[in-house]
Structure 1
Amino acid sequence: MRNLLVRSSLRHLGRHPWLTALSLLGIALGVAVVVSIDLASGSALRAFERSTDAVAGRATHQLVGGTSGLSEAVYRDLRLRQDAPVAAPVVEGYVQAAVGDRRTLTVLGVDPFMESPFRAYAGGEAVGDVSALLTESGAVLLSERAARALGVRAGERLPVRVEGREVSLRIAALLAPADEDTARALEALVLTDVSTAQEVLGRMGRLTRVDLRLTEEQAEALRSTLPEGVEVVRSSARANTVEQMTRAFRTNLTALSLLALVVGMFLIYNTMTFSVVQRRGLLGRLRAVGITRNELFALVLGEALVLGVVGTVAGLLLGILLGRGLVGLITQTINDLYFVVSVRGLALEPFTLAKGLALGLGATVLAALVPAWEAARSAPATTLRRSTLEDVSRTRAPRLALLGVAVLAVGVGLLSWSTPALFPAYVGLFAVLLGAALLVPWVTERLSLYAALPLGLSFGLLGRMAARGVRTSLSRTAVALAALMVAVATTVGVGLMVSSFRGTVLSWLETSLQADVFISPPSLVARRGGATMVPGLAEKLRATPGIAGSSTLRVALVRADEIPTDLIAVDFSQSPARPYRFKEGGDEAAVWRELDASEDSLVVSEPFAFHRRVKVGDTVRLSTDRGPHDFKVAGVYFDYGSDVGTMLMPRATYDRWFDDRGVSGVALYAAPGQDVDALVNIVRAQAGDEQALLVRPNRSLRQSSMEVFDRTFTITQVLRLLAIGVAFVGVLSALMSLQLERSREFAVLRAMGLTPGQLWGLVSLQTGLLGLLAGLFSMPLGVGLAYILVHVINQRSFGWTLRLAVTSETLGQAMLLALVASALAGLYPAWRMARANPALALREE
């Protein structure tokens, strides 16, 4: 009997290849989106971790200094100690190759004689003259993979750019690591000796850090004897910081990708329900001849599992292909926002693939539980009646609506919960989606009833039949509507969130970018201007003729409460404006007076205050060149340039606590009557050939900032399109199954004289009504999702205060999208039904 049921199930799936294929496609797309996002973001982070591990080697601790690193004297004194630990000096920085794929490379300057306890590859197998590292200035080692990608060979020159300067390196030898992990880690590494790295990076006499191998007791003993401004930190701290920095970014991507899987679940539910409905006669006869409820339950669930396995495996393969395309977008976003990372391939992690498999199968089984339960619980006589399911659906609709209201209340409660945790917010978001979906059957039944009159007046009998058809097929149409509603609402919500974010950022840029011309060296991370000008150049630029005022800023990476954070030092001594708006701290003039009068005060950005749980009056401990020092928070300012937070202090305060005298940027204010474009040309002439600089007028800098913003949201737009794709497949599947199920009804209408054209019109009117209802449902839900994303998810993820802007254009696009999606999805079913032979459709089995 079991074999008979299995053959019956497989035969049924085989007789409906299009519906089966659409179901598989829906599952595959849902799984593919989740897997691809995980693989792409995971690959980017693992690439950074691999390069970090390769650079850190087997060091347990590190000696670090302030913003300008360590003096070479620190390492020398350490080596002369009687209890000198195993130590190696390191100079590290980034350059950009000027040939090949122009990848970003990590320069690692080491002492070859001290490297063996830390990095085995530094003295490993190489092809070429390794000794040139010690005898020739500018000599470096590259991995064979990096050399191939850059199109260079051993003995040739490698031009690179660093902070606007072009430097020529000579490839003395090529490293050929024996194992694959090391080879991947070295793909973006330039290995050289300490002195060459100092020369290339412009850090003469300075070290980035000193690597150590210590026990925790030795580290504690060493701390008490270190000079002012030098600290011992664990080597693992860097990787942990990166994980914290990108956690919210990756969580948001994962949540958006799960939306596609949720829409895919509607499709699976739709398919399995249709499978049960279409075979209700057969299932009733099987029950009548002795098949048990458990056997029927297992039959339907087994079908779903077969679909789930095939669709999930296809989704894993599709996710790998999609991940290869998305990894570039995610890598670019990480480079724009957080840190420099070079990703050359997709890392296939077994855990990610296993998670995708579990999600696909779990979603399929979960979606099939209700249809399987319906098939098993119905009495044979009830199952044999055609109208049973629709009667049950209409009877159940009010109860589902009440449940939906309860679920919505739970979701609103979770979203209102004043906790910084993201998990309750996402549970609340999905509860809102589920609650809205549960309301769809009852609202659809009511609206379709009311729509019969206007449709009848406009289109006559066909209009009334279309409206009643939606109502009498509620078990089918409600699922299709819910899938399309969730997808369109997601589009509306994410679209409004992005446009609101964009409007807020644009307004912030107009307020904060008040200078007419901005000058800075090129930076490898778009939102971090850490590169510095050559000494003396900033003063020369500030003396440019035709300006009424100027200001400078220095962006430095310092450790705030042990976490590396951007610190901005501003010099407004010659500036007519101070373009910062404060969220907390009172009057802006009072905040600046306090900053100017104090030597240990600073202000922090809104994301910094949110993530670190600090407010005005609290203190933040910074690792300065004079040692750790507590700075009072005088205010919290609005800032949308960094989601991890920044700090700001006057340049005079910065110079008091740090030895760094670098300048990262200069802002110039044009004198009255001075043409800004002419001033740009004057500045470029004033700078000469000392250093390649970005000299941009105000409008150009705003434009480039918005380009970075738009680039960071490209991945979000891709996810929106994929979710819509999954929903479109779901609507097409629902409409196909709906029309196929009604084939006998349409055959009767054809036999009574309905022409193919009229039948086409009937089906088109019905799909148009479905699209209209989906659009109406999606607009309030989309606005609600936008509110949640802007005021809850973004606030808890990054701490930003955004202004939600609901535009009629976005709502109109949502309605158009719903109508077009339903119209396109109804084309094939309408064409097929219009061409069907009434005599064949009327035959009984």
Structure 2
Amino acid sequence: SNTLIMSEALAQRWGLNPGSEIRLQMNDHIQSFKIAGIIDPGDQRVRQGLEDVVLLDIAAAQEALGMVGRISRIDLIATEEQIQAIEARLPAGSQIDPASEQHSTLEQLTNAFELNLQALSLLGLVVGMFLIYNTTTFTVLQRRHILGIFRTLGATSRQIFLMILLESGMIGILGSLLGVGVGWILGRGALQLVSQTINDLYFVLNVTTVSFNAFSLVKGLGAGILASLLAAAGPAWEASRVPEVVALQRSDIESRARTWIPGLALVGVALACLGAILLLLIRTSLVASFVGLFLILIGLALIVPLSMTLFAHWARPLLARLFGPVGRMAVGTILRSMSRTSVAVSALMVSLSVAIGVGVMISSFRGTVEHWLDLTLQADIYVSVPNQGGARPNASLDPAFAQRLGELTGVMDVETVRTVQVQSDKGEALLLAVDTQRERAADLYRYASGSAHEVWSQVQQGALIVSEPFAYRNQIPASGGELRLNTDRGEQDFKIVGIYYDYTSERGTVLMSRATYERFYDDRTISSIALHLQPDADLNTVIGNVRAILTGSGLQAQANRSLREQALEIFDRTFLITSALRILAVLVAFIGVISALMALQVERAREFATMQALGLSQRGLWLLTSLETGMIGLVSGLLAMPTGAILAVVLIYVINLRSFGWTISMALDPWVFLSSVLTAVAAALLAGVYPA
């Protein structure tokens, strides 16, 4: 009978009650069902497991899904001996898989996505460490006189070090607690973005509650406190090592900082080279790739003080000619305050370089996908089950639909695709059985054992081509090889004759001809239909006739442009959370550099008063502070440009490839680089408004 049972959570979400009717898409038709009952399991885990599940009698389900006499799987609780006995009696095309294997497969799918988000989040923490270092240095400078008195009264270096470190630790605890709370709020806001991305790319996921375990709390607090202590250790150590008499001299730390600049640059070059070596030597580990990327970023950040010094010496004659003594004074101020300004510049440079790198990666990726869509979507109209997201269900359509659509006036050619999950010697694979005589464009092949025509001829004769992600994950060489598939005729070996670009799934796909599929599989259904129209056919008229045939089936017909726009919409939605984290990192640095430069300007209030007493006008003071802060911002933006370009190269050709197996054509968008310079200069100029 057409009745079903559903969970209470699902019924409440849809506003249904026992006795209500619901219409469900059952492959190529819509069927009405009556709700016979609503269940509410007492166990929370069972309740979550049934949250998106409807239960039907197996006979009713088989009839509704066109699977009379067939089932999808059998779940067993059995001993090892029983499993071996069952395996010996399995028919061809069937196999036993541990339940844990399915969970492991789903977990592996999202690991790279999760790791990328965590790495981008940690970049915000790294930027914060620069700002903590800068703030601690500023507070030490402000209390230089008091610390000197402590030393003359008998305070030891260890006591001074622990005092400053304890202060930073307490501030770190407060900041971490606040960060965990704000993170909880932001996490709830980002939940829909992340779950939608998982739905689009991996599998259907419905999240109705936000879980927050103790480990997440400890991890967040621990990371924040540890970052605070590590960032404050340098200024605390410096303050504790200064002799008593020197501690009373405010200029000492600046002279010491200038002596460190060459050494820091050498350490920075060494770290950047170490990161590059790590990227080149360890070619499979994604974690090692991110470690190498972080080393490169930190190394380049340590070169900032030397770069600032060289830039200031180069700019001094130019500013002196343009603005006279005020221009020379602005450069001198920057050179005299390197211990504070260089750290703020480093923080802003790192965050802006991340924004540039991620921005270039996203724009390059989008351009690559657009070009790929132009090559792939050659038909005029596409017919399929409404989009179900990343789950990629094996929707089954009656081949009669393709025959009826092919008879419509204006239709020149019909193509069909059957999409099924199959088992191979490389693990689970998404198999595409394509019924078409049209060859794939040569530009769609990454590697091919001959011309595009020769490759397609071999596919028609029984060979396979695999997608780039599938080849990368399974280490299939460019020369091809063989793939063993578990078919309805038993295990069969197929020759791989090409590797093609495909951005629909990071899991990868395997493509064979429809004739080959029907030779080894009993399935005769299709999953989607593509229609090529005659040159003089009217698209709107034909698509209207197509939809008339599909009335009542629940199937959708989309024009080429509509499907292309939908694909790009999914792409843009996928990177929303990435863009949000990127903006957050820039915002942290933006606020940090404003506060750091404002503190520096406020510290010089007496110096400004002296200048005005000696005849410097208010306009001159505005010009002085604007030149100082503007030049700091300009240096940040200029240094962020090459750093961002390096980061983009690593993201595109290393991180992305190892995460998803996709090849991206790098394209440099000038606006991405220009906006970084404008952002840096704007942040720095804002910092000089209040003091001036």
How would you bin the TM-score normalised by the shorter chain?
over 0.9
**Are residues 1:736 and 2:598 paired?**
yes
Pick the aligned partner of 1:682 from 539, 545, 568: 545
Q: After TM superposition, give the deviation of residue 171 of structure 1 in Å.
A: 2.1
What is the aligned partner in structure 2 of residue 298 from structure 1? 162
Q: After TM superposition, give the deviation of residue 344 of structure 1 in Å.
A: 0.8
What is the aligned partner in structure 2 of residue 238 from structure 1? 102
Structure 2 length-normalised TM: 0.96
Conserved 8 A contact 2:365-2:665 = yes
SS for the counterpart of 2:207 is coil
Which amino acid in the other structure matches residue 206 of structure 2? Answer: S
Pick the aligned partner of 1:636 from 474, 477, 499: 499
Rate the CA distance shift 1:754–1:636 in 2: closer, same or farther, 3 A. same
What is the aligned partner in structure 1 of residue 129 from structure 2? 265
Q: After TM superposition, give the deviation of residue 163 of structure 1 in Å.
A: 4.2
Distance 1:603 1:580 in 2: 14
**Are residues 1:671 and 2:531 paired?**
no
Pick the aligned partner of 1:716 from 550, 561, 578: 578
Distance 1:181 1:230 in 2: 30
Pick the aligned partner of 2:351 from 487, 503, 516: 487
Residue-by-residue CA offset, 1:240-292 (whole Å, 9 max, x unaligned):
11111121111111111111111111111111111111111111111111000
Q: After TM superposition, give the deviation of residue 809 of structure 1 in Å.
A: 2.0
What is the aligned partner in structure 1 of residue 7 from structure 2? 143
Query: How many residues are aligned here?
Result: 690
**Are residues 1:181 and 2:63 paired?**
no
Conserved 8 A contact 2:440-2:456 = no
Aligned residue runs from structure 1 range 102-501, under 5 A: 137-163=1-27, 165-417=29-281, 419-501=283-365
Pick the aligned partner of 1:544 from 401, 405, 408: 408
**Are residues 1:625 and 2:521 paired?**
no
Distance 2:347 2:26 in 1: 51
Conserved 8 A contact 1:527-1:641 = no
Rate the CA distance shift 1:207–1:578 in 2: closer, same or farther, 3 A. farther
Conserved 8 A contact 1:526-1:708 = no
What is the aligned partner in structure 2 of residue 649 from structure 1? 512
Which amino acid in the other structure matches residue 177 of structure 1? Answer: P
Which amino acid in the other structure matches residue 691 of structure 1? Answer: S
Q: After TM superposition, give the deviation of residue 535 of structure 1 in Å.
A: 4.4
Q: After TM superposition, give the deviation of residue 745 of structure 1 in Å.
A: 1.9
Q: After TM superposition, give the deviation of residue 807 of structure 1 in Å.
A: 2.2
Rate the CA distance shift 1:589–1:576 in 2: closer, same or farther, 3 A. closer
Rate the CA distance shift 1:203–1:751 in 2: closer, same or farther, 3 A. farther
Q: After TM superposition, give the deviation of residue 351 of structure 1 in Å.
A: 1.8
Rate the CA distance shift 1:577–1:645 in 2: closer, same or farther, 3 A. closer
What is the aligned partner in structure 2 of residue 699 from structure 1? 561
Which stretches in structure 1 are left out of the alignment for 5+ residues?
A: 1-136, 835-845
Q: After TM superposition, give the deviation of residue 751 of structure 1 in Å.
A: 3.2
Q: After TM superposition, give the deviation of residue 688 of structure 1 in Å.
A: 4.1
Conserved 8 A contact 1:560-1:620 = yes
Distance 1:592 1:432 in 2: 44
Distance 1:164 1:496 in 2: 42
Distance 2:390 2:96 in 1: 30
Which amino acid in the other structure matches residue 471 of structure 1? Answer: L
SS for the counterpart of 1:268 is helix
Distance 1:214 1:786 in 2: 51
Conserved 8 A contact 2:203-2:390 = no
Distance 2:339 2:443 in 1: 57
Conserved 8 A contact 1:532-1:664 = yes
What is the aligned partner in structure 2 of residue 11 from structure 1? none
Conserved 8 A contact 1:163-1:523 = no
Conserved 8 A contact 1:408-1:431 = yes
Distance 1:161 1:141 in 2: 16
What is the aligned partner in structure 2 of residue 572 from structure 1? 436
Residue-by-residue CA offset, 1:675-696 (whole Å, 9 max, x unaligned):
33333223223x2425233222
SS for the counterpart of 1:213 is coil
Rate the CA distance shift 1:150–1:688 in 2: closer, same or farther, 3 A. closer
SS for the counterpart of 1:640 is coil
Rate the CA distance shift 1:821–1:163 in 2: closer, same or farther, 3 A. farther
Residue-by-residue CA offset, 1:650-706 (whole Å, 9 max, x unaligned):
011111111211211112222232233333223223x24252332222222211111
Rate the CA distance shift 1:458–1:227 in 2: closer, same or farther, 3 A. same
Rate the CA distance shift 1:526–1:176 in 2: closer, same or farther, 3 A. closer
Residue-by-residue CA offset, 1:462-493 (whole Å, 9 max, x unaligned):
32222221111111110110011011111110
Distance 1:158 1:683 in 2: 26
Structure 1 length-normalised TM: 0.79
Distance 1:448 1:422 in 2: 39
Deviates more, 1:316-325 or 1:556-565: 556-565
Which stretches in structure 2 are left out of the alignment for 5+ residues?
A: none
**Are residues 1:581 and 2:444 paired?**
yes
Conserved 8 A contact 1:229-1:623 = yes
What is the aligned partner in structure 1 of residue 459 from structure 2? 595
What is the aligned partner in structure 2 of residue 658 from structure 1? 521
Which amino acid in the other structure matches residue 641 of structure 1? Answer: T
Rate the CA distance shift 1:359–1:139 in 2: closer, same or farther, 3 A. same
Distance 1:673 1:160 in 2: 38
Conserved 8 A contact 2:406-2:412 = no
What is the aligned partner in structure 2 of residue 12 from structure 1? none
Pick the aligned partner of 1:787 from 649, 663, 669: 649
Which amino acid in the other structure matches residue 534 of structure 1? Answer: D
Identity of aligned residues (%): 43
Rate the CA distance shift 1:680–1:400 in 2: closer, same or farther, 3 A. same
Residue-by-residue CA offset, 1:739-796 (whole Å, 9 max, x unaligned):
2322332232233343444333322222211111111000000111000000111111
